[in-house]
Structure 1
Amino acid sequence: MVRACGLLTAQKEPVPLKSIEVELEVRDHVATVVSTLNYENKEDKPLEAVFVFPLPGDAAVCHFNAKIGQTQIVAEVKEKQKAREEYDDALSSGQQAFLLEESLQSPDIFSLSVGSLPPGESASIRLEYVTELAVQADDGLRFCLPAVFNPRYQPQGSEGAGVQVTSVPASLVPYSLSFSARVSSPRPISKVESNCSLDPLQYLNTDQTQATVKLAAGHKFDRDVELLIYYKDAHQPTAVVEAGQVSAEPGSLMADSVVMVSLYPEFPQSVTSSVASCGEFVLLMDRSGSMSNTRISSARDTLLLLLKSLPMGCYFNIYSFGSRYEHIFPKSVEYSQQTMEEALKTVVQMEANLGGTEMLQPLKHIYSQPCIPNQPRQLFVFTDGEVWDTKEVIDLVKKNSDSHRCFSFGIGEGASSALINGMAKEGGGHAQFITGTDRMQPKVMQSLRFALQLAVVDISVTWDLPKEVSVTVLSPPITALFPGQRSLIYAQLSGQSSEAAEGCVTVKYSLAGHPSENQLHFSLRPAEDTGLTVHKLGARTLIHSLEEGEHRGWQDTKVKEKVVQLSVQSGISSSLTAFIAVFNNNGEAIQGPLLHKNILKHDYVDCTLSPYQDYEDLQEPSVLTMGYMYADQESYDYVGCTLNPYQNCEGYMDADQESGDYMDCALPLDQDYETCSYKPRNKSDSKTGVFTQMKKILSDFWKSCKTVADGALKSVSEGNARSSVSEQQTRDPLLQLVSLQEATGKWLLDPALPTALGKTNEEVEKSKPVLANKEIWATILALIWLHGLKMDSKNEWDLLAMKAASWLRAQNAPWVTECVEAANLLLGCSVMKEALGL
């Protein structure tokens, strides 16, 4: 869901952002981010405003202060309701105050209330958070700085019905950005890459374990800034022990030492090179409006690769969703040539035309389907948007975690890290993010390989420590282990030990019926100058575990009290606490009326959306969009509000309960006004029949509009179908070859095969050994072409090539060697038969 961002005036104009300063410090796989935003109020009246922004879903906000003029105010963490009351009291008594709180719907959305900013005054907001960096498919560590720190710039003249704002030329963006990163690690730093232009990496020492990097001059922060950091020997396990805070309460988490253990369990080669031949694969694809153009095209290609790579004997189904959801089969079907072809016919026609991003209902339908015996369910979720009920979606995945594994993919900038990481974590799967020019296919195929491997079971973690030291694990139990992927464990260490003492952590698990274990020995001597980063991340981990536990409804008062106590002690934000800062300016009353500006979460004043574009999915990379406009809390005026004709807005409209004013407020075309849950101001209004008459007028009006909209939808749908056919004809050779493979893994000597290989039919026929079977010849040709000419894309076609080799071995044909030699000669390759797995 697009979140409004930036400080706004009563006229919906942004409080001008003068500059952004971001300092990033990365230590191994942990990042500390300090962002400073400098604003100026050019209004002639005092301003109260709200700044709404996302952060990484697993980030721990650990410091916040604000400076108005020459006055700096440092915030402290308090119970949320008390903080809100303190904020309101401060404003009513003429004081300046700041309130920073986490959204109840999603842990990666924060709102900052600023009250009040005097006319002509400047404000400097400094926010600090710590977060872990996720491991990517190529072993890089990913850091993402959301472009939301750049409030979406709204050009002059954009007021009115159409407030979708497209990209603003860089020359018109009136602020500067300063971004610098310092990276340090026990291992040498290989390289740092970005989706933005960087100055050259500067090493600070000879062993290349410390380096700095900056964004190149001229960057306007019109898109997310993504850094990928690569270390040598990245898969080495590590442990960092951090000393407690001397001033903390004895026995508390902040007073004791905390250890962060980073593990990379090792798997036998026989396991990592084999794949399962069973499973139920359910693919859930986002088809909301913002998946249009290259995203939906890449999604179709990805589904093609997935379908071709599935093993014979498994089951599958494909769901797609927007404001509604569809599925190809009523229930999962057995994978065969017939069912694969039927699915592909639907896939090739998929367009981004289903409206918004509503994931909960299709998930509920998927989980309501009974699991197939001896076919472990594997759920793949692809989405580029966010859902407003993130926590409810994650809860649903967790509730069904015993019956499936969930692999999630965030597509493009703006995908909710809380949603993507949360679903994978609770579903025992793996999360991937596809941004910028990333290809979706290799990351998805890596996750498919994980899904095809046997699940690791009976995972346990044991500690061996000196007898005077006890351990309290802060992290939830490990539920999934995958080759090459990191597992993090935080633990509180109580008691004293000598600096020379050592500890040991052992991870035990069972795979394919064989027990295995990995050990890590580490020193208990605390690391120097860590800034309590490990404590903050450990506290964040424990807080999230408590919040996501069995007491979601907070019926257990003790759990609630523990979260608040831990949040206050550690200075880490939670869903039950908030940062509050109040400046007492000697009690002097603020001159002039205070412009109260609330950013309402479900407010759509003057918002006009396209027939295919839902309010949840307005944000595109490098597109500056003010997705929500903001109603005056006192008037709740909804004049000119037009919602997506296929989007049910029940539950989103916050109309004035007193006035009941719904003039010009468009409900969805398929929504009966009689079901509107909002009532007129009083009974007399109802008796006059005015409200009933208005309902009828609006209902008739939208019925006539729906006829026009349906015609437009049909026209565009037909155009999209024609363009998809054209796209098929110009597809790259690799995908052309993949599209010709049969479900069993073989290729036919089809006339389209030589074209994909860059040869003529005559050349292919002439080169075939005389006694060779046509299907075996075609299959070996395809494999030689892949291994000889497309090794740079091996992670995309590896699984379907393994399936082809398996089919060839089953044929037990005597002319395989002759076919390999002839194919090498024809294609100009030198691939050995053994390299094909034959």
Structure 2
Amino acid sequence: MERTCGLLTLKNEPVPLKSVSVELSVQGFVADVSSTLQYENQESSPVEAVFVFPMESDSAVYRFQAQIGGVLIEAEVREKQEARDEYDDAVSSGQQAFLLEESDESSDVFRLSVGSLPPGQSASVSLSYVTELAVQEDGALRFCLPGVLNPRYTPAGGMSMTASAPAAPGGFVPYSLSLSANIRSPSGIDTVQSNCPLDPLEHLTEDKTEAKVNLSPGHKFDRDVELLVYYKNAHQPTTILEAGLPSATPGSLMADAVAMLSFYPEFPVAVLSSLSSCGEFIFLVDRSGSMDCPMSTGTGEMQRIKSARDTLLLLLKSLPLGCYFNIYGFGSTFESFFPDSVEYTQETMDSAVEKVKTMEADLGGTEILEPLKEIYRKPCRDGHPRQLFVFTDGEVGNTKEVTDLVKINALSHRCFTFGIGEGASSSLIKGMAREGSGHPQFITGTDRMQPKVMQSLRFALQPAVHDISVKWDLPPAVNASPLSPPLKVLFQGQRALLYIQLTGQCDSGAAGSVNLQYTLADASVKNELKFNFKPDKDSGLTIHRLGARTLIRSLEGEEREKEEDEERKALKKKAIELSTQSGVSCSHTAFIGVNKDSKEPVQGPLQRRNIPTARMYGYAMPMCAMACSAPMMFDRCSALEMLDTCCYMSEDSYEYGEADTVIMKSEGDGVSEEDLCDAGRNSVEVDTYTIHAAEPEEDPMLQLISLQRANGSWDLDQKLASVLGKTEEEIASKMPGEVPNNELWATVLALLWLYGFKLDSKDEWQFLAMKAVSWIKGHKGLSVTQCMQVGNTLLGCQVEPQTLGL
């Protein structure tokens, strides 16, 4: 039979998108991105190519243009419905038209429509956007070019732009990607790393302030492309001032100067050394079917749910005695370990650890709203500030409803989010953290989840910052109007960005300053930034566009909060005006371009072609795509979970995009590969499936961690001895005589093993080590030096007492 492969969609239709090329310009911690898509219609009829694709949620799209038949068409930003109507009218009359629009529900999904592309015709479509680069836990700046678009779970009655986006057959994306990056930083560029093969980094100046790097040739756009940029002495407070556009309307945002302020607060050492020992820690874990997928498209990658289980184990061992905690799992339904948060004791920790070990991705679709409502219904505990940790692969359709709910409850908690695996919604992960005064993290490829989660735990245990204010000292004729919402949260060493519109005139040699003030642990702290009014020469309109995007997002959020129609209409009108003036699109506007120079209308019936996108292998792919890639073992329950996640229908009838119904069949009934390949086009009966992968050997460090008691100590038993590479008898026989009990000896040895052999993973186990040291210090009369000498000899390591803090 004919296979679905090559440049074909799931319905054996040609794919008109041939290649994507990206030019990236990084200046400091801001990136300007230009992406060009090459289309070619090789059919005998005119086509409409529709491409639904992901984008970073913080991006500000400011240019959209197309070149066809030697004609350059520059698109304009219009009110969305007006743009759609103009596009439909143009296409129905045979004109060539181009439409780029943001999803109504999520700011990280866009749809690009190329209408009336004649037979044999080529078209080049370009879009440009600017975006901030996130700071990672190791100091790197992260740029992500999303390539994976998994379907977003949409509750009954909802709509999703991703529903009509087909998956690439067998995971094979039928278009290539080329990417080149030029990087500039006054502090010097150290290295650039990526999850994809790169050509060697080339420094363009002796002081290494400019460099370029390219993605290796022949790359298929079948995964998210990440670049991690490491600067020398990178994270210093800065102010960038950008002049307005002379041709812009006087008094508008684009006509005035705009400043971007970057703060990196440094907390006093005394504050950081006294981390909180109280709090209510709630862990909300995605257990939808998609969490059974690997972390990335590479072979042998750990399953997302397995990584989440290991991370929960580490978190449970790292919590301070005296706090409260609970764990929720969610999918189509949700469940909690305890009816209410419980005090952290040996008994409750043991109970939770046993339940974590049995957690599976078995709860269906990704419905996060109801468990959040349940958590917020529970009253907070006095003296124990609530800290919410959310682990999800982010395939949620009602993003704005979720982030709005977090915002409503922002005063009662802090929300830390973790996007797991490729395709996680940046709009959801960043939005929940932003509205919940927390911090977002993304775990993709070969990333270990644990270091990023422990950084967020460190933030959660830091004292909350209060009374944050920004005060200006400016020349008399200049006024500052904030474009960013007020700062609600500050964390040690993490960047805080503010955009400010400056009105009025002054000499370019004039100077000003801005003070960031806040209260921390009952002490007043002030960070000052000084700057002059000489605009930065190289920034173009980047800062204006990012400032406009920031203000538009705030207006959209306010609009959703209002109950009165007139108030909502007024805010919507203001957002549309700002969007059209700045040329930055938003949820209420779209880019529209029409080729009005064409003399002859395009003739013939128009064929719609949906461009396939990359999705995670083994998940969210039609049966035909999976069958054509490899033979698999099947069982009923796992396939029902997967299909519930992918298709969001009842157990009896599942639907995938425009594919026909797939009816589930009982275990034991045979099915051919040909039947599977037809599953995306016809109603067929097929077995359900799951991939049975060999369980990897357990990490000895995680084995050691799992044995620690809630108070920080270890028992001397055969399990611990096995991790240490000794027998229980051998360890007991070497115990110094002055050590009062086996637990002290076992705890010292466990700490020596961690410091001696796992020092490079200290970020993961530092909190449980702090508990262990505190427990040891509670036992007076112990000769630490002699005890450690014997322990070092026994384990074959060299760790000094001061290293452990003893």
TM-score by length of 2: 0.86
Residue 539 of structure 2 is matched in structure 1 by: 530
Q: How far, CA to CA, are the matches of 2:709 and 2:603 in structure 1?
A: 76
Residue 677 of structure 2 is matched in structure 1 by: none
1:167 to 164, 167, 171: 171
Kindly indicate whether residue 278 of structure 2 is the aligned counterpart of residue 304 of structure 1.
no
Question: Is the CA contact (8 Å cut-off) linking 1:182 and 1:211 kept in structure 2?
Answer: yes
Question: Is the CA contact (8 Å cut-off) linking 2:63 and 2:75 kept in structure 1?
Answer: yes
Deviations 1:522-560 (A, max 9, x none): 121101132200000000000011111254466422211
Which residues of 2 match residues 46-195 of structure 1 at below 5 A?
A: 46-147=46-147, 165-168=169-172, 175-195=175-195
User: In the superposition, relative to structure 1, how do residues 407 and 628 fare at CA in structure 2: closer, same or farther (>3 Å)?
Assistant: farther
Q: How far, CA to CA, are the matches of 1:336 and 1:475 in structure 2?
A: 43
Residue 514 of structure 2 is matched in structure 1 by: 505
Gaps of 5+ in 1: 1-5, 152-161, 601-616, 630-641, 654-665, 672-697
Which residues of 2 match residues 212-611 of structure 1 at below 5 A?
A: 212-292=212-292, 294=302, 295-549=304-558, 551-552=560-561, 555-556=566-567, 557-586=569-598, 588-596=600-608
Question: Is the CA contact (8 Å cut-off) linking 2:716 and 2:728 kept in structure 1?
Answer: no
Residue 747 of structure 1 is matched in structure 2 by: 714
Kindly indicate whether residue 650 of structure 2 is the aligned counterpart of residue 667 of structure 1.
yes
Q: How far, CA to CA, are the matches of 1:196 and 1:10 in structure 2?
A: 27
C-alpha displacement at 1:232, in angstroms?
A: 1.2
Question: Is the CA contact (8 Å cut-off) linking 1:9 and 1:49 kept in structure 2?
Answer: no
Residue 681 of structure 1 is matched in structure 2 by: none
Q: How far, CA to CA, are the matches of 2:368 and 2:104 in structure 1?
A: 18
The amino acid that maps onto 2:772 is A
Q: Helix, strand or coil for the counterpart of 2:219?
A: coil
User: In the superposition, relative to structure 1, how do residues 163 and 468 fare at CA in structure 2: closer, same or farther (>3 Å)?
Assistant: closer
C-alpha displacement at 1:218, in angstroms?
A: 3.1
Q: How far, CA to CA, are the matches of 1:164 and 1:18 in structure 2?
A: 13
Kindly indicate whether residue 730 of structure 2 is the aligned counterpart of residue 759 of structure 1.
no
Q: Helix, strand or coil for the counterpart of 1:829?
A: coil
Q: Helix, strand or coil for the counterpart of 2:764?
A: helix
Kindly indicate whether residue 745 of structure 2 is the aligned counterpart of residue 733 of structure 1.
no
C-alpha displacement at 1:179, in angstroms?
A: 1.0
Q: How far, CA to CA, are the matches of 2:700 and 2:647 in structure 1?
A: 47
Residue 19 of structure 1 is matched in structure 2 by: 19
Q: How far, CA to CA, are the matches of 1:707 and 1:11 in structure 2?
A: 29
User: In the superposition, relative to structure 1, how do residues 715 and 32 fare at CA in structure 2: closer, same or farther (>3 Å)?
Assistant: closer
1:781 to 745, 749, 764: 749
Which residues of 2 match residues 615-694 of structure 1 at below 5 A?
A: 619-620=615-616, 625=621, 645=640, 667-669=650-652
C-alpha displacement at 1:273, in angstroms?
A: 2.6
Residue 657 of structure 2 is matched in structure 1 by: none
User: In the superposition, relative to structure 1, how do residues 592 and 164 fare at CA in structure 2: closer, same or farther (>3 Å)?
Assistant: closer
Of 386-395 and 555-564, deviating more is 555-564
- Percent identity, aligned pairs only, is 58
Of 562-571 and 286-295, deviating more is 286-295
Q: How far, CA to CA, are the matches of 1:650 and 1:818 in structure 2?
A: 58
The amino acid that maps onto 1:329 is F
C-alpha displacement at 1:756, in angstroms?
A: 0.8
Q: Helix, strand or coil for the counterpart of 2:607?
A: coil
User: In the superposition, relative to structure 1, how do residues 174 and 228 fare at CA in structure 2: closer, same or farther (>3 Å)?
Assistant: same
Question: Is the CA contact (8 Å cut-off) linking 2:171 and 2:616 kept in structure 1?
Answer: no
The amino acid that maps onto 1:667 is S
Question: Is the CA contact (8 Å cut-off) linking 1:142 and 1:228 kept in structure 2?
Answer: yes
Q: How far, CA to CA, are the matches of 1:237 and 1:299 in structure 2?
A: 35
Q: How far, CA to CA, are the matches of 2:114 and 2:602 in structure 1?
A: 14
Residue 683 of structure 1 is matched in structure 2 by: none
Q: Helix, strand or coil for the counterpart of 1:795?
A: helix
Question: Is the CA contact (8 Å cut-off) linking 1:34 and 1:127 kept in structure 2?
Answer: yes
TM-score by length of 1: 0.83
Question: Is the CA contact (8 Å cut-off) linking 1:323 and 1:647 kept in structure 2?
Answer: no
Q: How far, CA to CA, are the matches of 1:513 and 1:123 in structure 2?
A: 62
Of 482-491 and 587-596, deviating more is 587-596
Deviations 1:66-93 (A, max 9, x none): 1223222110001112111211222233
Kindly indicate whether residue 773 of structure 2 is the aligned counterpart of residue 805 of structure 1.
yes
Question: Is the CA contact (8 Å cut-off) linking 1:282 and 1:318 kept in structure 2?
Answer: yes
C-alpha displacement at 1:645, in angstroms?
A: 4.8
The amino acid that maps onto 1:481 is L
C-alpha displacement at 1:349, in angstroms?
A: 1.2
Deviations 1:438-492 (A, max 9, x none): 1111111110111111111111111111111111010011111111100000000
Of 644-653 and 55-64, deviating more is 644-653
Q: Helix, strand or coil for the counterpart of 2:761?
A: helix
User: In the superposition, relative to structure 1, how do residues 768 and 148 fare at CA in structure 2: closer, same or farther (>3 Å)?
Assistant: closer
The amino acid that maps onto 2:273 is S
The amino acid that maps onto 1:393 is V
C-alpha displacement at 1:174, in angstroms?
A: 5.5
Q: How far, CA to CA, are the matches of 2:139 and 2:566 in structure 1?
A: 42
Q: Helix, strand or coil for the counterpart of 2:311?
A: helix
C-alpha displacement at 1:732, in angstroms?
A: 1.9
Q: Helix, strand or coil for the counterpart of 1:306?
A: helix
The amino acid that maps onto 2:367 is E
Question: Is the CA contact (8 Å cut-off) linking 1:246 and 1:255 kept in structure 2?
Answer: yes
Question: Is the CA contact (8 Å cut-off) linking 1:150 and 1:221 kept in structure 2?
Answer: no
C-alpha displacement at 1:825, in angstroms?
A: 2.1
User: In the superposition, relative to structure 1, how do residues 643 and 62 fare at CA in structure 2: closer, same or farther (>3 Å)?
Assistant: farther
Deviations 1:32-83 (A, max 9, x none): 1111110111121111232111110010000001122322211000111211
Q: Helix, strand or coil for the counterpart of 1:244?
A: coil
Deviations 1:276-323 (A, max 9, x none): 111111111112222225222211111110000000001111111222
Of 417-426 and 140-149, deviating more is 140-149
Q: How far, CA to CA, are the matches of 2:256 and 2:688 in structure 1?
A: 65
How many residues in Structure 1 have an aligned counterpart in Structure 2? Answer: 741
C-alpha displacement at 1:217, in angstroms?
A: 2.6
Residue 630 of structure 2 is matched in structure 1 by: none
User: In the superposition, relative to structure 1, how do residues 51 and 715 fare at CA in structure 2: closer, same or farther (>3 Å)?
Assistant: closer
Kindly indicate whether residue 800 of structure 2 is the aligned counterpart of residue 832 of structure 1.
yes
Q: How far, CA to CA, are the matches of 1:715 and 1:92 in structure 2?
A: 44
C-alpha displacement at 1:197, in angstroms?
A: 1.3
Q: Helix, strand or coil for the counterpart of 1:308?
A: helix
User: In the superposition, relative to structure 1, how do residues 742 and 813 fare at CA in structure 2: closer, same or farther (>3 Å)?
Assistant: farther
C-alpha displacement at 1:120, in angstroms?
A: 1.4
C-alpha displacement at 1:504, in angstroms?
A: 0.9
* Backbone CA RMSD of aligned residues: 3.3
Question: Is the CA contact (8 Å cut-off) linking 1:258 and 1:534 kept in structure 2?
Answer: yes
User: In the superposition, relative to structure 1, how do residues 408 and 628 fare at CA in structure 2: closer, same or farther (>3 Å)?
Assistant: farther
Q: How far, CA to CA, are the matches of 1:778 and 1:262 in structure 2?
A: 47
Q: Helix, strand or coil for the counterpart of 2:48?
A: strand
